[in-house]
Structure 1
Amino acid sequence: MSRASAKARTWTSAGRWPICGSCTNTNQETSMRRQAGTLTSLLGVALLGLAVGTLLVAPPGAVGQDKGKVVVQIGGGDWADANFEAYVAPFEKETGIKVVAVRDWMSIAKLKLMVESKKVELDVADIPRLHYLSAVKANYLEKIDYGVYSKAELSKIDDLSKQAYGVGAAYFSYVMAFDKRPTTWAEFWDAKKFPGPRTLRAGVYGTGAYEEALLADGVPMDKLYPMDVDRAFKSLDKIRPHVTTWWKEGAEGQQLFADKVVTLGDVFNGRIGNLQKKGMPLDIEWNQGKLQLDYWVIPKGAPNPQNAQKFIEFATRAKRQGAFSELIPYGPTNVAAFEYVKPETAKQLPTYPANLKKQFHRNEDWYAETGPGGKSNLELIIERWNRWTVQ
């Protein structure tokens, strides 16, 4: 190949080989032209073979194939940051599929509007179990294809997380956070013994501090359901004067502590965990914590359903969930993820055995139940909340 290149460089502008001591006649010139042509042909065949070989052995995505995209709703604040780093970026790198990450939250109202208007722009959404049950009942979700999962990974995902229309994304808890130490909701409700501005979750989405109110009024954890709604709101009446802000989104509750607007609150454990990492002198009480589960789901009519299935499978692998829990302390649904979590991080997770035994699971099935009037308990309690806020 190098000799042919040398000859090519000495080709004259007149289109002939130069005269030299060993090539002074026409026959020699013709012979050299033939040799040059032969070398050029061989070089072309070699390059073609190299190109074909590259196509055959190159890994997926290495030769520029368009793998398409997937549009994923990843929430907001620290939750979104953790989703992006643990799932979005590595999924793109491994698969070559472009991920359009949407920093927003999904409500059942938004999901209903998208599906019923047939204007679904998301491929993957993250919703709490409460909304998952409602979405399944309304036929708003695509089925999960468990055929794309490895048997080893699938066997480690807990049963509650393996549903027909959704796969568990993470466990999280509503917990007491404070700079003074109440250990029960009854103590939290005692503003004389534990003074200070407070925050509780607003009930606009049906996820207010109703169970906490009942616990504060003396109801045992195993007797919370069916919920005595009247009793819950009477208990909320007692704490209402001491609540500075009723937060709606997780980032809001977190910011209230970061700005020192409140000193006690009922907030997501992971939000407080990340403030602790930044050195804020806050603590968490796991006793009487309210444990919940979020699901990855695919809205009915999603434009890229196959890539959506691939993304959810990727996001429920043990190693990836371990990375997520290191970024924000929420519990994995794949129990093998604990192998990829530092011991000090594991102790901050809601599903760590010592923390788990102190808590209760919110009964999402009760919220999804439909009463005689055709409305679910979720709808009824939202209506009750809206009336209560203007009283």
Structure 2
Amino acid sequence: MRLGKRLGTALALAGLVGLTTTACFGTTGNSASGGAQSVVFSNTGGALAEVFKQNAYADLAANGITVSEESPNNEAKLTAMVQGGKPTWDVFYATPYTAIGKCGKLFEKIDYSKIDTSGLDKSQMSDCGVPVLNSYFVLVYNKDKYGANPPTSWADFYDPAKFPGTRGIMNYPKDAGMETALLASGVPADKLYPLDYDRAFATLDKIRPNLKFYDTGAQQTQALQSGEIDMMLAWPGRAYDAAKSGANLGVVFNQPLKYFDVVTIVKGAQHQDQAYALINALIGQKNQQAVVDRIPYGPVTSQAHQTNNADIDAFVSNDTKAKGTTVIRDNAWWAENLDEATQRWTKWVNG
């Protein structure tokens, strides 16, 4: 298979063929046996990292490469590492626009001759970012709270008079608070960019007394599971985790905001050949299929198919469910305007 060929190429480049096959997750540097080589992956943790460990990392272990993880994937820490000249991370899980905006600064340019790109959407590939996961931001709500009158749109999410209750949003500008606020205020999906900050924050102000911010996916799951919040601008994977633990949740597929994540190679990474091997394992058919069979996300390779699990599928958005209302994020705009958007968001949150 092509993944095996790419892994073999990366291993040959590193001089690692024929080395030990023992995986030692959570360690860095050479293994105790002195044989296996290590690659350090900074990612989001949680169920997604568990799938990676059971599939992509296991395949690497069979070829003599161990994977060490650190989470969360904090960009400020990454920046300090790169500026210090000795980064300890090799592969970094990122947004596509961060990979575009920080290409050559925080991230190495990808040598695509070392990547198996068959099955990938070429429009999602950038100079420094390789697509690894497809998903959508969706509105998730507590069915017990709203009963026979559930929310059906972003306008309902931002209308606490019509739909009383607490709201949850991740405390990052990237997590669609501004975009969904603009959609709720009537901005057409194809006219979102450039973002009208003032209009977005005027809409967000409507739910400010009812709003709770979260910093991690684990907090998002806990808030949904405990009933701490009644509606969430959610990552579907974290909402699904809450539902598995008993939360009675509904999902609104009206105007889901499509996004994808990428993996990057850290500027000055110490184990770049092993980093390429890890990326190939992450985007390969086996790992991608395992992701969609375990978590409500979409594969980045056409070699994997959508899940057949009905419980998972209940949280998976697609254009059929969205009835043609899917909203596409402008990653080029975000790459150019991320710093300003972050400053505006932080000022509003702290204001």
Shorter-chain TM-score tier = 0.7 to 0.9
Where does structure 1 lack aligned partners over 5 or more consecutive residues? Answer: 1-57, 370-376
Q: 1:146 aligns with which of 109, 112, 115?
A: 112
- Equivalent residue, structure 1, for 2:132: 169
Instruction: Specify the code of the residue in structure 2 equivalent to 1:161.
Output: Q
- Equivalent residue, structure 1, for 2:166: 197
Tell whether 2:127 aligns with 1:158.
no
- Equivalent residue, structure 1, for 2:271: 304
Give the 3 Å change call, closer, same or farther, for CA 230–190 of structure 1 in structure 2: same
- 1:144-184 CA-to-partner distances (Å, cap 9, x unmatched) read 2333445xxx2211113332322111012221000232111
Q: Distance in 2 between matches of 1:106 and 1:319?
A: 28
- Equivalent residue, structure 1, for 2:203: 235
Asked if the contact 2:160–2:206 (Cα under 8 Å) also holds between the matched residues in 1, the reply is: no
- 1:97-118 CA-to-partner distances (Å, cap 9, x unmatched) read 11112232132x3332222210
Q: Percent identity?
A: 31
Q: 1:183 aligns with which of 152, 167, 179?
A: 152
- Equivalent residue, structure 1, for 2:343: 383
- 1:84-130 CA-to-partner distances (Å, cap 9, x unmatched) read 223223332x31211112232132x3332222210210111100112
Listed as ranges, the matches of 1:326-337 within 5 Å are 326-337=293-304
Q: Provide the TM-score with structure 2 as the length reference.
A: 0.82
Q: Distance in 2 between matches of 1:296 and 1:210?
A: 25
Aligned length in residues: 318
How far is 1:207 from its partner? 3.9
Listed as ranges, the matches of 1:347-366 within 5 Å are 348-351=315-318, 353-355=320-322, 357-366=324-333
How far is 1:295 from its partner? 0.7
Q: Distance in 2 between matches of 1:268 and 1:335?
A: 22
Structure 2 counterpart SS, 1:337: coil
How far is 1:229 from its partner? 0.9
Asked if the contact 1:86–1:321 (Cα under 8 Å) also holds between the matched residues in 2, the reply is: no
Asked if the contact 1:175–1:269 (Cα under 8 Å) also holds between the matched residues in 2, the reply is: yes
- Equivalent residue, structure 1, for 2:238: 271
Structure 2 counterpart SS, 1:338: coil
Instruction: Specify the code of the residue in structure 2 equivalent to 1:270.
Output: G
How far is 1:143 from its partner? 2.7
Could you say which structure has the greater relative contact order, defined with CA pairs below 8 angstroms and 6 or more residues apart? 2
Structure 2 counterpart SS, 1:182: coil
Q: Distance in 2 between matches of 1:293 and 1:140?
A: 19
- Equivalent residue, structure 1, for 2:190: 222
Listed as ranges, the matches of 1:18-37 within 5 Å are none
- 1:284-320 CA-to-partner distances (Å, cap 9, x unmatched) read 1121112211111101111110011011011111121
Q: Distance in 1 between matches of 2:21 and 2:170?
A: 48
How far is 1:352 from its partner? 6.7
- 1:241-295 CA-to-partner distances (Å, cap 9, x unmatched) read 121x111222222211111101111110111122223342101112111221111
CA RMSD of aligned residues (A): 2.5
Give the 3 Å change call, closer, same or farther, for CA 267–368 of structure 1 in structure 2: same
Tell whether 2:63 aligns with 1:89.
no
Tell whether 2:256 aligns with 1:289.
yes
Tell whether 2:72 aligns with 1:123.
no
- Equivalent residue, structure 2, for 1:252: 219
Q: Distance in 1 between matches of 2:180 and 2:335?
A: 19
Q: Distance in 2 between matches of 1:356 and 1:119?
A: 49
Tell whether 2:43 aligns with 1:74.
yes
- 1:65-90 CA-to-partner distances (Å, cap 9, x unmatched) read 82411111232223332332232233
Structure of greater Rg: 1
Asked if the contact 1:170–1:333 (Cα under 8 Å) also holds between the matched residues in 2, the reply is: yes
Asked if the contact 2:289–2:299 (Cα under 8 Å) also holds between the matched residues in 1, the reply is: yes
Q: Distance in 1 between matches of 2:255 and 2:201?
A: 19
Q: Distance in 2 between matches of 1:199 and 1:62?
A: 44
Where does structure 2 lack aligned partners over 5 or more consecutive residues? Answer: 1-16, 23-32
Q: Provide the TM-score with structure 1 as the length reference.
A: 0.75
How far is 1:367 from its partner? 2.1
How far is 1:227 from its partner? 1.2
Give the 3 Å change call, closer, same or farther, for CA 163–381 of structure 1 in structure 2: closer
Structure 1 counterpart SS, 2:102: helix
Asked if the contact 2:18–2:63 (Cα under 8 Å) also holds between the matched residues in 1, the reply is: no
Structure 2 counterpart SS, 1:119: coil
Instruction: Specify the code of the residue in structure 1 equivalent to 2:111.
Output: D
